[in-house]
A and B are shown apart, each in its own frame.
Chain A
Amino acid sequence: MKSKFVPPIGKITKIKGQCITLIGNDIDTDRIIPARFLKCVNFDSLGEYVFKDDRETLKGKHPFDLEENKNATILIVNSNFGCGSSREHAPQALMRWGIKAIIGESFADIFYSNCIAIGIPCLALPKKSILEIQKNKDNKFLFLEIDLKNSLAKSKNLSLKLEIKESSRKMFLLGEWDATATLLENESLIKNKCKDLPYLEFNNYFS
């Protein structure tokens, strides 16, 4: 395995790194991490199993096995990436392999919110730009600097305007993507909400 995994923490404003390209639409989370690897009570060992079946099928030729990609941190994908199962094991496996940000045409909803919740920005680019990056023979050596303040990705010759939900962008800039503490701050509002909800009284199942 590669260098020791260090989870992201606090404000995320810039991510610099080498790109790794994965071609295909509708790549589901079963492919990112097959179900048999979900038999675990922590996420620690998932990195080595990312895309396990796809990689075995391609016998060393999968992008995640190529020597030139081993230090890549920015994943470039097509549309509806991460569809299917809600398993957070999928972004956790990508993160533990080394991915720090994903740029794609579009992302499935649950996968997207799982990524935000663990500190992986998912950024959108139009199909045309993604295809250009993917077709570029030099992309294996493409280094990008993602600037979340200005929603830009830059390299020596490129400057790409990225799209990201404003709420997600702000959560990264404020360092509030790990939402628990922020949610807990509203403890009194949560208590008040309980009084508003008409059903808590009759739907107090087991009392």
Chain B
Amino acid sequence: MSQDTLFDKVWDLHKVSKLPGGSDQIFIGLHLIHEVTSPQAFGALKDKKLKVKFPDRTVATVDHIVPTDNQSRPFKDNLAEQMIETLEKNCLEHKIRFFNIGSGNQGIVHVVAPELGLTQPGMTIACGDSHTSTHGAFGSIAFGIGTSQVRDVLATQTIAMNKLKVRQIWCDNKLSKGVYAKDLVLHIIHELGVKAGVGFAYEFGGPAIEALSMEERMTICNMSIEGGARCGYINPDEKTFSYIKNKLCAPKNKHWDKALTWWKSLKSDENSIYDDVIKLDASKVEPTVTWGITPGQSIGINQQIPLLEEFSPNDKLVAEEAFEYMSFEPGQSIKDIPVEVCFIGSCTNGRISDLRIAAKVLKDKKVSKNVKAFVVPGSEKVANEAKREGLDKIFKDSGFQWREPGCSMCLAMNSDKLIGNQVSASSSNRNFKGRQGSPSGRTLLMSPAMVAAAAINGKVSDVREFIK
């Protein structure tokens, strides 16, 4: 059993009681909600005649269903309109702070909370969304929950949960040029597998992790869930503190000093005990691309899709399924596979640094005529900053469509969808069957830089050839 890790410390601090069944009752410091997983929870509160216990510890935004072309109300899609109206009504009724479209602070919930300074070290953070693990980048313990647990947090500010085990993933050395956080996390998921994290929190550490910016760290923690780990985190450091400083909801003046003193005390002890430790060499990671139907089915850009006999008996079943669905051949190179749609965005890679990197690749280049490319900023703040820097113009000049903020084609709950068996190069997080809106659509996950390179060439390409 782990001891003295950041996870242990934050868990113990938030433990309210041991429940009769044996699980822990955990206080949730910050609860984030959005339109998809909250309406039934508010409905259940009403059925149980309960109120929201701590309305000021829940914050809402709207992201999954928002259109990215025309956001004027009412939305063209009646169901989407009904969902945003329900969220508006629930927030108003229960006095919950809601960052709506046009507020300047709307966006993907996992982009918005950090940029507002809501996400801080040492907190527990829950949201009805599996990518809540993103917030662990700040040294908080953050995890996705279902709607019944959203109800419990609204009603009690606590949930019933079993403590997770802790696996340290130590990343030695540094990423090489043209290799990004996305490549590293895809590599980690490939090495450990998509179910290794079940029952675990992942602590990412080592020189390669320390060298990452806060936004890159968010990309890493974001995809913990793709490795099966509901929670992923990184011990906070100076980068964490300076990212938070002066943000809208960051502690100010004497509160800042107090916060800083506490945050600096928050990290895994040097001799803390982990349930498991894995070591990786980050310098060996190449630009990485998925070829299959799970985020673990990835290879380096210069590698070939594995042969069936190279899979362990455990992985063979899903590999066969992937070959059938993707129509790629075992042994085929991933490089040069034609792509028809290029998508930059999502809670994994829709932040300003992601847009900067992609724009740098696209500057003075044109998107291939066979490709439909679009970029969806992660939030209104990201969009505004990108415009201030002229990135929107670079994207548009290259042939990318510049869209309004939202989750968009990461999960295709709005009208941004693949058609038929189109192949998409996507900076999002899931390549599941049908994930991007077409039951036969094919998703290749990669870094935003790699998506930009694929857009220019109309096929999977090595971005390092663009940034020599």
- Of the listed stretches A13-21, A61-69, A82-90, A154-162, chain B binds A82-90
A108 at the interface (CB under 8 A from B): yes
Q: Are A80 and B198 in contact (CB under 8 A)?
A: yes
Closest CB in chain A relative to B145 CB, distance in Å: 6
- The answer to whether B161 touches A113 (Cβ under 8 A) is yes
The reply to whether A86 and B145 form a contact with Cβ atoms under 8 Å apart is: yes
- A43 CB contacts on chain B under 8 angstroms: 40
- Please determine whether B318 and A38 come into contact, CB atoms closer than 8 angstroms: no
In the complex, which residue of chain B has the Cβ closest to the Cβ of A81? B195
Interchain residue pairs with CB less than 8 A apart (25): A24-B318, A25-B318, A26-B195, A26-B294, A31-B434, A34-B434, A35-B437, A39-B77, A42-B43, A53-B439, A57-B440, A83-B228, A84-B130, A84-B225, A86-B130, A88-B147, A108-B228, A109-B198, A113-B149, A114-B147, A167-B19, A179-B19, A186-B158, A198-B258, A206-B249
Given contact pairs A84-B225, A171-B160, enumerate 16 new A-B contacts (beta carbons under 8 Å): A24-B317, A24-B318, A30-B433, A39-B65, A41-B43, A86-B37, A88-B128, A88-B146, A89-B147, A91-B146, A107-B198, A179-B148, A182-B19, A183-B19, A202-B255, A203-B120
Q: Which residue of A lies closest to B322 (CB)?
A: A26
Cα–Cα, bound, A179→B25 (Å): 10
Tell me whether A114 and B148 are in contact (CB under 8 A).
yes
Whether B317 pairs with A30 at a CB distance below 8 angstroms is: no
Residues B321 and A190 in contact, CB atoms below 8 Å apart? no
A110 to B130 CA separation, bound complex (whole angstroms) = 8
Would you list which residues of chain A between 21 and 55 have a CB under 8 Å from chain B?
A: 23-26, 28, 30-31, 34-36, 38-43, 53-54
Interface residue count on the B side (C-beta < 8 Å): 88
Question: For residue A168, which residues in chain B have a CB less than 8 angstroms away from its CB?
Answer: 21
B432 touches A204 (CB 8 A): no
Alpha-carbon distance between A117 and B256 when the two chains are bound, in angstroms: 39
Q: Are A170's CB and B65's CB within 8 A?
A: no
A170 to B225 Cα, complex, angstroms: 27
Answer whether A41 and B146 are a contact pair too, CB < 8 Å, given A170-B21, A180-B50: no
CB contacts (< 8 Å) of A180 on chain B: these are 48, 50, 151-152, 155-156
Cβ contacts under 8 Å, A106 to chain B: 195, 198
Task: Count residues on chain A whose CB falls below 8 Å from chain B CBs.
Answer: 72
Cβ of B259 under 8 Å from chain A? yes
Tell me, yes or no, whether B212 is within 8 Å of chain A by CB.
Answer: no
Q: Is A189 an interface residue (CB 8 A)?
A: yes
Q: Pick the contact of B144 from A110, A165, A190, A197 — CB < 8 Å?
A: A110
In residues 1-46 of chain B, which contact A (Cβ within 8 Å)? 13-14, 16-17, 19-23, 25, 27, 29, 36-37, 39-40, 43
Q: How far is the CA of A171 from the CA of B321 in the complex (A)?
A: 37
Cα–Cα distance between A198 and B14 once the two chains are bound (Å): 11
CA distance A109 to B143 in the complex (A): 10
Say how far B417's CB is from chain A's closest CB, in angstroms.
Answer: 9
CB distance from B254 to the nearest CB of A (A): 9
Contact between chains at B20 and A170 (CB < 8 Å)? yes
